[in-house]
Structure 1
Amino acid sequence: MELSSSFSQLPKISDISFSSSCAPFPLQIRYLKPHHKTLQNLGVFAVAVDPQELPKNSPQRLLKELAERKKTTSPKKRIPPKRFILKPPLDDKRLAQRFLNSPQLSLKQFPLLSSCLPSSRLNNADQTWIDEYLLEAKQALGYPLEPSDRFGDDNPAKQFDTLLYLAFQHPSCERTNARHVRSGHSRLCFLGQYVLELAFAEYFLQRYPRESPAPLRERVFGLIGKRNLPKWIKAASLHNLIFPYDNMDKLQRKEREPPVKSVFWALFGAIYLCFGMPEVYRVLFEVFEMDPEAEDCQPKLRRQFEDVDYVSVEFEGKQLSWQDVAAYKASSRFV
């Protein structure tokens, strides 16, 4: 800041200097000697002094240092956002009404299916995803495009549209922030993991009845290990539903594999609940085109025993297919 003032008559003093503390910053006013002999162009300039250049014992400097120390030692407390403040509890009538309206209470004869349904009815945001993507998912999996609610109440397939929607809402997508969606997907994912393990355990145990568990595990892992799941998802043309805004091939493994695994497991949880284990085999070997004889699915070389099934004699000398395993029923003498 620079202030200029001119005086017509000034006493003949070689230098005038004084300071003032009226302003927030002290001012030093100096009289500058004119270059000419006349006093008409005489100027007085006021220059603001940097507070850091104040003397050590200056009151202004001490106040400034005290304010800076208070900022570092005692930061200002932040008030928590309103969304973290506890809400008043619902009264008994409204709470009971919420439970009675839950889809989980509508299926008394299917308790396992009921436990995987959302705790509240789907809203408009859920219906938007269903209207946009559900037909594409059904077509890729080989299911009729008609709404599943055309089935009767005694048919678990009536809930297939809801479960199929939940299966694709992996933890990285936007809709998983809703509690009823997140809970439904996680339950389907939990169930689907063990449905797949049971399906392949049954398949490989009957196909290789004398093989030890170690190579059997390697066969299962070669088919449904997390590194191979993106390949099956892409083969079934379902990758665009999991990554609608990203190219799956350009994503890193840590960004690609967890969502694919979560959707893959939840998908088979939904299929098992609505259609049973035979449909699980159909989707695995027809839709995803899994090949147990592929070279990268074979176990390490070990000492092999002769694969002879002495229990299911009707399969002796015959290589089992997934249709045989899905439709197989033990003979009456073992029942």
Structure 2
Amino acid sequence: MSESKKISVGIVGASGYGGVQLVKILLEHPQVEIVYLGGDSSAGKEYGDLYPHLQHRVKTKIEPIDIDSIASRCDVVFLGLPNGLACDIAPPLIEKGCKVLDLSADYRFKNLDTYTAWYKTERKDNSIASQAVYGLPELYREDIKKSSLIGCAGCYPTASLLALAPLLKQGLVLPETIIIDAKSGTSGGGRQGKINLLLAEADSSLGAYGVAKHRHTPEIEEICSDLARNEVKVQFTPHLIPMPRGILSTVYGTLRDPGLVTEDLLTIYTAFYRNSSFVKVLGNGIYPQTKWACGTNLAYLGIEVDTRTGRVIVMSAIDNLIKGQAGQAVQCLNLMMGWAEDLGLPTLTFYP
């Protein structure tokens, strides 16, 4: 496609935190034009009333979700809906010629039985779902380029899989020893009012949730199994941190070769991500902080080998709303359209 012609983009579910991040990024993207913002409960409202800080840039109302109207106006559609809704909306959009990027869990699974078991939603879109590509560009770049349906990776899985991928792809760890200890800011819980996300509840506190049953577990395991070419189960424990955004995922695994040292792993990781401009492998003794990634599409990786225990520890920091959601979706869009992968995506944080 010629870079002189902008593509028409729609966002279904534009009123949530992921939606507003998409709006912000796409407003600054040189190759797209937002022509449709859609929602259910917010339909009919001015977008600037939902987000007054954008009134000077967005003069658009939230429209009802109408498949025919969306398909007639949009080349590309982002779906930022709760789990279980995209699987009804994506198939007709695909059939009408749209490219679709889904930010929910609906198209992240090759095995729909796994999806149904964890998300309690029966599926009737097997043929369309089989065409979907997992939207983590650093691992599936070439497949994304050829696809019209992307199941964008979840935020916890993005941070965790970027930390794990070189270890599993090259058989460096014993898969059964993998433990993921991850912490996320409160925006990961969405914009709906929830008691556990109230300032009085979350501030000055740190706690785990979804222990041994978080829905991102099977997503992580499916991709880990693909990378390792064997079934992999992981121990994944998420925690809520009293800050608006950011994820720090700390991954542990026992090395197959106890003779490996930190410098060896740094060399391996640097080579693995040599063509991935958004992944920053930090030097020896430097460990990532969420503040560094805040507002960017970057992932910072820090690596340490504990020769005493024979374990590798990999720390991964991302912005859950950008690299973990909206920015990654736009990264996938760039690949689908044949543009530079980093086009229109932020790489500089506000600091401090």
With the shorter chain as reference, the TM-score category is under 0.3
TM-score of the superposed pair, with normalisation by structure 1: 0.26
Q: Report the structure, 1 or 2, having the larger strand content.
A: 2
Q: Report the structure, 1 or 2, having the larger helix content.
A: 1
Q: Which is bigger in relative contact order (C-alpha 8 A, separation at least 6)?
A: 2
| Structure with larger Rg | 1
TM-score of the superposed pair, with normalisation by structure 2: 0.25
